[in-house]
Amino acid sequence: MHRYKLLSGVSFVLFILVAAFTTTALAYDHQREENVGPCTGRSDNPHWSNPGQDLSAHGFTYCEDGQPRDYLRANTGLWKWTINGNTQLTTGVGEGPNKILVDGNPRRICENGKYFTMTNHLVIEGTDQWTKTTSSLNDPTFNTPTDVVCG
């Protein structure tokens, strides 16, 4: 009887640990906006569109203080969510030296489905500093992007 209670207790603790890890792993997602060194990176939603029309996404890296940096880069991907996983459709890169703003702008013709953007931001001001943002906030229950539906 004591051995059964001990095993039940250990099993319960392991169950709680696995549940906590799984919930944390599924719920984690990058921020829509995040600091990257002295600047800010942001991923914006693709706009609403009808099938056959242009679907435009944006990822910005910008410096609010108006001071140009040695180098800025926003590498933005437009992704489509499917039940079998996410597919990157296209990318847009904005980059350059002595800039205060760059805009990665991938474009695609809209087809039925759910879309989101993900951007890698880089600021070089003496050292390399980078972050990643996304327009999609995933629902941990269904693991689907909630921001854009086309169709």
What integer pLDDT is reported at residue 29 of this predicted model? 53
Half-sphere exposure of 16 (CA within 13 A, CB side): 6
| Chain center to CA of 95 | 19
* Angstrom distance (rounded) from CA 148 to CA 151: 10
What integer pLDDT is reported at residue 48 of this predicted model? 64
Tokens encoding 55: 């679907």
Nearest to 50 by CA among 105, 112, 135, 107: 112
Beta-bridge partners for 130: 122
Q: pLDDT per position in the chain (151 positions), as tens?
A: 555 454 444 444 334 433 333 333 333 356 888 999 999 999 987 766 677 888 888 999 999 999 999 999 999 999 887 778 788 999 999 999 999 999 999 998 888 777 888 999 999 998 999 999 988 655 444 455 545 566 6
What integer pLDDT is reported at residue 111 of this predicted model? 82
What integer pLDDT is reported at residue 47 of this predicted model? 65
Half-sphere exposure of 133 (CA within 13 A, CB side): 25
Tokens encoding 45: 């939603």
Going through the chain in order, the beta strands assigned E by DSSP cover 33-36, 39-44, 54-56, 58-62, 69-82, 85-99, 101-104, 107-109, 113-125, 127-134, 148-150
Residue 54 dihedral angles phi and psi, to the nearest 5°: -70, 130
* Angstrom distance (rounded) from CA 120 to CA 79: 14
Report the predicted TM-score, pTM, of the whole model to 2 decimal places. 0.72
Beta-bridge partners for 56: 107
96: region left, alpha or beta (phi > 0 left; psi from -120 to 50 alpha) = left
